[in-house]
Amino acid sequence: MRLASLGTQLLKREVKPIYIPDVSNELDCKYVPKTYLRAEAKDSIVQKAGKKDMLDFQEFTYTGSDGYMD
């Protein structure tokens, strides 16, 4: 199978996953280690992004979807 063909199939969701986890919904955390669930949530807010910080994103584009976990 050619890589381009596989990419098209993946985008169309025609490839069967190797493993489908047994979860009840999007918020089911049974496969997340307890250490992560108990960890304190901390903000990592940058106070002011400078010109140097923006260089990493010069050619970055993103087109997201409106749905949650499509």
Domain extents in the chain: 1-40
Measured CA to CA, the distance from residue 36 to residue 30 in angstroms comes to: 11
For 5, 8, 13, 14, 60, the CA distances from 17, given in Å and listed in that order, are 16, 15, 9, 9, 29
Residue 65, pLDDT score = 67
The tens digit of pLDDT for each residue in 6-35 reads 888 888 888 888 999 999 999 999 999 999
Measured CA to CA, the distance from residue 18 to residue 9 in angstroms comes to: 15
The tens digit of pLDDT for each residue in 47-56 reads 776 777 777 7
Dihedral pair phi/psi, residue 4, rounded to 5°: -65, -40
Tokens representing 27 are: 């918020």
pTM comes to 0.41
Looking at residue 66, what DSSP letter applies?
A: S
